[in-house]
Homo-oligomer: A and B are copies of this chain.
Amino acid sequence: MSLRHAILVTLSDTEGTGYEITQRFTSGLGHFWQASHQQIYQELKRMAREKLVSARAVAQETRPTKKIHRITATGRKELKRWLSVPSKRQPTRNAFLIKLFAAHLIDRDHIITELEAQLAHHRDLLAHYGELEALHFPEPEKLPFKYRCMYLSLTRGIASESAGIQWCEDSLAVFRK
């Protein structure tokens, strides 16, 4: 049950509407924990019921009324508890690696095409992480602790994508020769 904790993280220093939280997922956290607005709205409702967040409605002239959610003391306590206990690793799922177990049944070109698509995707993501790095963390050594931690999650993304790129290139060499 990590979704609620991820939401608590997004609310830990700024309150926000379901919509805004969804955006925070899409831009930042979402690289490591995805959630759709449908999930987020449902979960926020439950969290409000359990007093982890408080919601207040704010009427607007032209836009529909929005609900601003703020983390409560209970929520903050639960967040800290969760931060302190090790979470188990999510096993990875990679359909393409399953395909490799039966790749001999089909034409090499299909494999090559898919590998190229994956390579492109890894490169796009890596480029994207590079931009985030340049934009938000130009001098990582000088960052205060808080941002230094956030930066580490970005370096993890960079490491994963780089490894992915290397592997795709090596594998393509096998299929192309």
Contact = CB atoms under 8 A, between A and B. Distances in A.
A164 B91 CA distance: 13
Contacts of A79: 102, 105
A12 interface: yes
Interface string A158-177: 01101110110011001000
A9 interface: yes
B5 A98 contact: yes
A122 to B, nearest CB: 9
Interface in A85-125: 86-87, 89-107, 110-111, 113-114, 117-118, 121
B94 A90 contact: yes
Contact of A2 (B2, B98, B146, B155): B98
Given A2-B95, A98-B9, A100-B150, A163 B171 contact: no
A156 B97 contact: yes
A interface SS class = helix
B9 A102 contact: yes
A129 to B, nearest CB: 12
Given A33-B93, A106-B84, A100 B162 contact: no
B160 A174 contact: no
30 contacts: A2-B95, A5-B98, A6-B95, A6-B98, A8-B102, A9-B102, A12-B102, A29-B101, A32-B94, A32-B97, A33-B95, A34-B91, A79-B102, A83-B102, A83-B110, A84-B106, A87-B95, A89-B94, A90-B94, A90-B95, A92-B92, A92-B160, A94-B156, A97-B156, A101-B153, A103-B146, A152-B174, A156-B167, A159-B166, A160-B160
